[in-house]
Amino acid sequence: MTHPPLQRSGLVGWLYASRCALPLVWAQRAVDDIVEKSIPRNAALDVTGALLFTGSRFVQFLEGPAQSIATIRQSILADRRHHDIVTFLSGSRAERVFSNWSLAYAGPSLFVADKVENLFHAGIKNTNEIIDLLEQFVIIAQADKP
Ligand SMILES: Cc1cc2nc3c(=O)[nH]c(=O)nc-3n(C[C@H](O)[C@H](O)[C@H](O)COP(=O)(O)O)c2cc1C
């Protein structure tokens, strides 16, 4: 799978989906670990974004300075905890969507999994649809927290 080159400067975003390579029994712990370690790394690189995990698929949107996104993207593309990585959007952004989140996370729920599968089966027509969905899930996931 090839991924288009990122531009060299300014605010850029990267939206992709992938499949989790781990069996579900281990996946949750692995994802918790990814989120815990990503938050300080993203913050240090001035990267914000959101990660959605359906139990089998990841959908992630990251935004930040071009160099930072290039660095993190390289790590993520080489990470063997997932595969079949498909880039939906990669390029310059006028403003951040998740400016308050180093990495907002929405974990597996039937509701999330159904919505995401429907979106994939219907065919992705508009990448903003996916970013909107991430935003909605993040709002729901944060509201559920005690
Ligand atoms: C689905 C998924 C999402 C990830 N998201 C991030 C992220 O937002 N930020 C980050 O620093 N690492 C993220 N990681 C972890 C990186 O792939 C990598 O393990 C970590 O950044 C350490 O980088 P290094 O292996 O190049 O040292 C993610 C991994 C996976 C599988």
CA of 129 to the centre of ligand 1 (A): 24
CA of 76 to the centre of ligand 1 (A): 5
Check residue 30 and give its pLDDT.
Answer: 95
- Whether residue 83 is contained in a domain is answered as yes
Token look-up 């006028």 returns: 94
Do the beta carbons of residue 15 and residue 87 sit within 8 Å? yes
Cα of 72 from ligand 1 centre, angstroms: 7
CATH of the domain at 33: 3.30.70.100
What is the band of 14 on the pLDDT scale with cuts at 50, 70, 90? very high
Which residues approach ligand 1 with their CB closer than 6 A? 34, 38, 41-42, 51, 58, 60, 62, 72, 75-76, 79, 81-82, 103
**Structure confidence at residue 83 as a pLDDT band (50, 70, 90):** very high
Asked if residue 34 belongs to a domain, the reply is: yes
Q: For position 37, what pLDDT does the model report?
A: 98
Query: What DSSP character marks residue 23?
Result: -
Domain count, the chain: 1
**2 within domain boundaries:** no
Model confidence at 1: pLDDT above 60 = no
pLDDT above 70: percentage of residues in the chain? 95
Angle at 138 between CA 12 and CA 31, to 5 degrees: 85
Relative to the CA of 30, which ligand 1 atom is closest? 31
Asked if the structure places residue 116 within a domain, the reply is yes
Q: What is the pLDDT of residues 19-66, one digit of tens each?
A: 999 998 899 999 999 999 999 999 999 999 999 999 899 999 999 999
Query: Would the pLDDT of 96 be above 90?
Result: yes
